[in-house]
């Protein structure tokens, strides 16, 4: 009788564990997830050259890969409404990462292992060249489990159809492996070790410790959880969309995900569910121990290095074997209200694909828009060797300022008037919030005013400010100030900021901004610091948008060279 009662208690505990409520990373609006837009007309904030479908909600880029001459992008998509829900893996293809053709969804709920949702995951190219996808499914018990999908016809370069083997799921939480069934998702691209076994990471947490769980397999079908995570960090919460890949310490070329050895470092990135932003570390992968040790050059927590200090989340990289580069893609969600999203009938866009590599210092990564984007550059306007006095604003005419690409190199004539940085100011976002574009300084603020109205009542300022830190060391902060971006009131106008690791020995600072109606995607110092903003001006739209260069510091600065282009319209899922 005692054994029977013990068994009954075990079954009850197991049942409670299995049906534990799932915690999604997005707000759930049940009454809105199937609401279609009232109109399919082009909305004034839709992008011209960034990736988005014609309507409805999108979020995470999934499983990007290059196969038989075609780039593939899968992404989380709601086919029925402009809020998160009904998620499938939508699928688009391209030959240049700029023009995209939409295909039928590749993965959608079909079986008990994913009937309640097909969430994020990654693609891996197996030896011989066949791609496979591992993704998170929500099963009948509302557990998060990891599944596999394979192409039905590998000879099809478009990979139109995918099938799910009967042995799914590959990985599942149980009472024995102590995995939280609501915090077990987003598998990475797999890599192969010197022993021939495959490894893959799955994001998770224990308490408030974020972690990358490690699984191994000999045949890519049967997976065994390792005793210890590849890496974890206390106080970081759930690690969504982890990414793990090698980078060369010698040059800027990308590396296949399975590469390791001499002159190779590794990058581990986590998307923090609690913070809704990402951080990464650069370190060493010890393959014999299957552990990752970050270098001590940056913090291994939410204060650490970020790909992007603005609206950029759930990012994913892949190795582009066609051009030997690693490409980074990210999701930029909206900053307006849910009701506005439902009214306009869409929400979410993706960043321009970025090439990513290790800075020669070894301390951080560098990012730059893929070269293919330059094919969209239309009419051009240039400024050279122009002095910008204190308090000056110079307009950049003759381009479409609502859909543009602008590159400018500033010449800092003198750093003598740089402000002293208070020792308690260690958060760049706080610095930018306190010292916005309208707050006069010594060296800076100087930069560009984008999506600005003629009277500058509306403007988004992207700028630098130089400080004197401890030991008179120069400290450069890059800011994206949205405080005046729109006259609308139901919009998030958070100001973003990040430090820029430059020595300023040559007195030069560069800035590039991709402007696309409701996007300002900016790259400072050649891509050392990146900030993306979503903005929604009321008057500075279309032909009424303006672009200016400004200097609000007491020291004059120079424009060594400025080039601005109207960006043409590619074909994006049209």
Catalytic residue list: 60
Tell me the CA distances in angstroms from 465 to 62, 459, 550, one per residue in order: 36, 18, 12
Strand partners, 61: 75
Structure tokens at 134: 């591992």
Longest dimension (CA), the chain: 91
Tell me the CA distances in angstroms from 456 to 494, 511, 532, 550, one per residue in order: 19, 21, 21, 12
Report yes or no: 268 and 294 within 8 Å, Cβ to Cβ: yes
Report yes or no: 341 and 349 within 8 Å, Cβ to Cβ: no
Strands, DSSP E only, in 139-276?
144-151, 162-163, 184-185, 191-192, 198-206, 209-217, 223-225, 231-233, 239-248, 264-272
User: What is the distance between the alpha carbons of residues 421 and 384, in angstroms, rounded to a whole number?
Assistant: 32
DSSP states of 395-427:
E--SS-TTEEEEEEEEEE---TTPEEPPTT---
Report yes or no: 84 and 26 within 8 Å, Cβ to Cβ: yes
Instruction: Give the residue from 27, 33, 21 showing the smallest Cα distance to 142.
Output: 21
User: What is the distance between the alpha carbons of residues 491 and 399, in angstroms, rounded to a whole number?
Assistant: 27
Rounded to a whole number of angstroms, the distance between the first and last alpha carbons of the chain is 68
Q: Which residue has the tokens 């996808």?
A: 133
Report yes or no: 180 and 188 within 8 Å, Cβ to Cβ: no
> Radius of gyration of the chain from Cα atoms?
24
């Amino acid at each position: 009788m005692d054994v029977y009662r013990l068994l009954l208690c075990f079954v009850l505990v197991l049942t409670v564990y299995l049906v534990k409520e799932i915690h999604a990373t997005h707000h759930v609006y049940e009454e809105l997830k199937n609401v279609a837009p009232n109109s399919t007309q082009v909305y004034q904030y839709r992008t011209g050259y960034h990736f988005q479908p014609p309507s409805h909600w999108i979020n995470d880029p999934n499983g990007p890969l290059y196969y038989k001459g075609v780039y593939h992008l899968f992404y989380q998509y709601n086919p029925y409404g402009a809020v998160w829900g009904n998620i499938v893996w939508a699928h688009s293809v391209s030959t240049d990462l700029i023009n995209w053709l939409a295909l039928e969804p590749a993965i959608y709920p079909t079986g008990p292992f994913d009937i309640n949702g097909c969430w994020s995951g990654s693609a891996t190219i197996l030896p011989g060249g066949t791609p496979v996808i591992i993704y998170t499914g929500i099963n009948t018990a509302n557990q998060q489990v990891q599944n596999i999908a394979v192409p039905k016809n590998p000879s099809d370069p478009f990979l139109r159809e995918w099938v799910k083997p009967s042995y799914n799921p590959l990985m599942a939480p149980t009472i024995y492996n102590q995995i939280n069934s609501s915090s077990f998702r987003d598998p990475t691209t797999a890599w192969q070790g010197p022993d021939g076994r495959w490894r893959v990471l799955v994001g998770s947490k224990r308490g408030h410790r974020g972690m990358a769980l490690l699984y191994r397999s000999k045949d890519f079908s049967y997976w065994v959880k390792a005793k210890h995570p590849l890496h974890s960090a206390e106080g970081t919460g759930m690690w969504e969309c982890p990414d793990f890949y090698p980078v060369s310490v010698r040059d800027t070329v990308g590396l296949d995900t399975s590469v390791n050895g001499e002159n190779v470092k590794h990058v581990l990135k986590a998307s923090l569910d609690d913070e809704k932003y990402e951080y990464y570390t650069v370190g060493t992968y010890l393959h014999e121990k299957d552990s990752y040790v970050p270098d001590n050059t940056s913090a291994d927590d939410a204060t650490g290095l970020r790909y992007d200090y603005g609206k950029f989340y759930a990012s994913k990289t892949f190795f582009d074997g066609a051009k030997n580069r690693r490409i980074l893609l990210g999701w930029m969600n909206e900053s307006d209200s849910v009701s506005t999203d439902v009214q306009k009938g869409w929400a979410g866009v993706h960043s321009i694909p970025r090439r990513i590599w290790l800075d020669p210092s070894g301390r951080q990564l560098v990012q730059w828009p893929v070269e293919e984007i330059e094919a969209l550059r239309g009419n051009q306007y240039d400024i050279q060797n122009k002095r910008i006095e204190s308090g000056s604003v110079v307009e950049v005419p003759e381009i479409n300022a609502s859909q543009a690409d602008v590159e400018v190199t500033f010449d800092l004539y003198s750093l003598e008037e740089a402000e002293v940085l208070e020792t308690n100011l260690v958060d760049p976002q706080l610095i930018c919030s306190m010292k916005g574009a309208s707050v006069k300084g010594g060296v800076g603020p100087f930069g560009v005013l984008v999506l600005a109205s003629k009277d500058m009542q509306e403007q988004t300022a992207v700028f630098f400010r130089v400080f004197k830190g401890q030991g008179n060391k120069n400290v450069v902060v890059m800011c994206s100030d949205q405080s005046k971006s729109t006259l609308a009131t139901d919009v998030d106008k958070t100001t973003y900021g990040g430090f820029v690791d430059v020595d300023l020995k040559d007195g030069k600072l560069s800035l590039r901004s991709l402007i696309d109606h409701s996007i300002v995607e900016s790259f400072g110092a050649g891509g050392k610091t990146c900030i993306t903003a979503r903005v929604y001006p009321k008057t500075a739209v279309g032909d009424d948008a303006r672009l200016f260069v400004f200097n609000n510091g007491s020291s004059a600065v120079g424009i060594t060279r400025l080039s601005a282009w109207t960006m043409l319209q590619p074909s994006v899922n049209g």
